Amino acid sequence: MTERPECAVTRQLVPELAAGTAAGDERADALAHLGRCLDCRRELAATTDLMDELLLLVPEEEPGTGFECSVLARLNEEDDAGAPVPSPVPSPVPAPTAPVAASAVPPGRPSRWSRLAWLPPPGRNRLTLLGVVAAATVALALLAAGLVWRATEDDRELAAAYRHTLEVAHGQGLSAAPLRTRKGTEIGTLFAYQGEPSWVYATFRSPPDPGNYQVHLLSKDGRCLALRPFEASTKAIAWGGKIPVRVSDIQSVAFIQSDTPVLTAHFG
Amino acid sequence: MGALTDESLLAGMATRDPEATAAFVRRYQSRVFGMAMAIVGSRAVAEEVAQEAFVRAWRHAATYDPRRGRVATWLLTITRNLAIDTLRLRGERPMDPHVLTAALVSGESGTETASDYAEREHLRTALRALPPEQRTPIVLSVFHGMTAREIAEKEGIPLGTVKTRIRRGLAKLRDVLGVVDD
């Protein structure tokens, strides 16, 4: 079939329309024709579909550690700043081409990665971890001693034991929250220690499902901070890691598997 | 949450549901970052672009219309446009189109399903089979957002030739994929 002259002109421009690169005047002329010509609209739709498929050929690549947290923290800031919740009404019938208009990222915008600068590179924190675990063990043992005192002595003695515990560990405070599954079942305890360094330490009454967990701390000011991941084996009954915030600033700590927070401790 | 469709996660994000938002970011971060890297070629800049792309998606989630395309292509288009705008503002050059083309046809992919993989592989093969004089302007147009005139100036060839090469190349890809309209 022979193309009509106006169709031939429009179809020359179809690739640029589909890629969203057509110049304004050419685009306006072409859109006017597309509004009248079903065949050219089909041509444009097919080319747009093809270009969409080409976009999907780009290889995936993992961003740096903490990227997810940084994005979520940024979104929290946007939310706090009062970005309106758009009406969940579908947009009007789309124009024939649908590249999303997006203005540029201002150059030189301050990086937000500094928030996560405290995070040690993977594999370089074994000694630190041992220190944390040892400190946690000492503190928990002393806390347990304190609890024994509570059973036999009055509250003043308990307070004294608690102070002694913190004194020995050079800490300023120790608190705890139940670690619950999504169904609310309590399967362990998350201890949070304020000191140098501050840390959290989870104990499980029974080993959680084996596998790799991401551990995220949500602070009361809306920041999401990635903690040391947890590789749970069938014998894993504890996990610990340093935290970059004060214990009093913790909102919750979540163990995440396959995009889902499966265990969470809320400090309120 | 992991089993929810892309559209469901996007709808959750539109209502500012934190779990849906987090799941959406986790699901797409490697794709978005991959797209940004493919264009800007620098991890630091790509992370800035990728982060901004998620912010744009979050802001405009409620305006997503499935009739206009899949969530993945919607999000990748946002990312591509941001990456191009960022480079233009900084006065920097995008990644060498030949390097990008090599990555596109290499077949290295991540989380796609078996059927998606077969479809992509088909397209990769077709793209690989195109003569370079057709493949390069297509890559420059689709990924670098260059107009036919800009491509002509960059490659030092007539504007009409560029348009013809792009059209012919795209026609071959469509023929291979069987998406030619009857």
Q: Which of B60, B78, B95 is the last residue of a domain?
A: B95
Which phi and psi angles does B47 have, rounded to 5°? -70, -35
**Over residues A125-135, mean pLDDT:** 58
Q: What is the pLDDT of residue B97?
A: 84
CB-CB neighbors (< 8 A) of A111 in chain B: 44, 48
* Burial class of A70 by CB neighbour count within 10 A (0 to 12, 13 to 18, 19+): buried
Whole-number Å distance between alpha carbons of A56 and B17? 27
Q: What is the pLDDT of residue A245?
A: 87
Report the amino acid identity of residue B110. G
Does the distance separating the beta carbons of B11 and A261 come in below 8 Å? no
Domain check: are B87 and B132 in the same one?
Answer: no
Domain check: are B5 and B79 in the same one?
Answer: yes
Q: Which residue of A23, A53, A78 is in closest CB contact with B123?
A: A53
Owning domain of residue B27: 1-95
- Most A CBs within 10 Å, among B37, B45, B64, B77, to test the A interface: B77
pLDDT at A182 over 50: yes
pLDDT band at A131, cuts 50/70/90? Answer: low
Distance of residue B54 Cα from the nearest chain A Cα, in angstroms: 7
Q: Which residue of B65, B119, B143 is in closest CB contact with A90?
A: B65
Of the ranges A87-91, A195-199, A232-236, B120-124, which one carries the lowest mean pLDDT score?
A87-91
Q: What is the pLDDT of residue A145?
A: 61
**Over residues A22-34, mean pLDDT:** 85
pLDDT at B124 over 80: yes
Q: Which of B95, B114, B143 is the last residue of a domain?
A: B95
pLDDT band at B140, cuts 50/70/90? Answer: very high
The per-residue pLDDT for range A203-241, each reduced to its tens digit, is 888 888 888 898 988 887 777 888 988 988 877 788 888
Domain check: are B5 and B26 in the same one?
Answer: yes
CB-CB neighbors (< 8 A) of B44 in chain A: 111
Q: What angle do CA B99, A20, A43 make, to 5 degrees?
A: 100
The domain that holds B26 is classified in CATH as 1.10.1740.10
Does residue A192 sit in helix, strand or coil?
strand
Average pLDDT, chain A: 74
pLDDT band at A165, cuts 50/70/90? Answer: low
The domain that holds B106 is classified in CATH as 1.10.10.10
The per-residue pLDDT for range A82-122, each reduced to its tens digit, is 665 544 333 332 333 333 333 333 333 322 222 222 233 33
* Contact present, A47 and A18 (Cβ < 8 Å): yes
Does the distance separating the beta carbons of A101 and B141 come in below 8 Å? no
Domain check: are B106 and B55 in the same one?
Answer: no
Closest to B69 (Cα-Cα) out of A98, A43, A19: A98
Of chain B, the percentage scoring pLDDT greater than 90 comes to 59
Domain check: are B121 and B178 in the same one?
Answer: yes
Domain check: are B43 and B128 in the same one?
Answer: no
C-alpha torsion sign, points A234, A235, A237, A240: negative
CB-CB neighbors (< 8 A) of B64 in chain A: 91
Which pTM value belongs to this model? 0.61
Domain check: are B2 and B90 in the same one?
Answer: yes
Q: How many domains does chain B have?
A: 2
Domain check: are B112 and B45 in the same one?
Answer: no
Q: What are the residues whose beta carbons fall under 8 Å from the beta carbon of B180, sequence distance 6 or more?
A: A46, B171, B174
Whole-number Å distance between alpha carbons of A127 and B26? 30
Q: Which residue of B67, B109, B123 is in closest CB contact with A94?
A: B67
Interchain CB contact of B8 with A (< 8 Å): no
- Most B CBs within 10 Å, among A259, A260, A266, to test the B interface: A259
Distance of residue B168 Cα from the nearest chain A Cα, in angstroms: 10
Whole-number Å distance between alpha carbons of A253 and B139? 44
What is the bridge-based pairing of β-strands A250-257 and A211-219?
Answer: antiparallel
Distance of residue A134 Cα from the nearest chain B Cα, in angstroms: 33
- B140: tokens are 């420059």
- Which of the pair, B117 or A113, is modelled with greater confidence? B117
| C-alpha distance from residue B29 to each of A62, B9, B32, B69 (Å) | 7, 14, 5, 19
Whole-number Å distance between alpha carbons of A78 and A65? 22
Q: Which of B46, B62, B95 is the last residue of a domain?
A: B95
Domain check: are B100 and B88 in the same one?
Answer: no
* Contact present, A191 and A136 (Cβ < 8 Å): yes
Domain check: are B126 and B160 in the same one?
Answer: yes
pLDDT at A146 over 70: no
Domain check: are B121 and B78 in the same one?
Answer: no
pLDDT at A150 over 70: no
Domain check: are B58 and B35 in the same one?
Answer: yes
Ordered domains of chain A (ranges, CATH): 5-61 (no CATH), 121-266 (2.60.40)
The per-residue pLDDT for range B22-76, each reduced to its tens digit, is 999 999 999 999 999 999 999 999 999 999 999 999 999 998 888 888 999 999 9
Interchain CB contact of B140 with A (< 8 Å): no
Q: Which residue of A12, A75, A107 is in closest CB contact with B58?
A: A75
Does the distance separating the beta carbons of B85 and A72 come in below 8 Å? no
Q: What is the pLDDT of residue A73?
A: 87
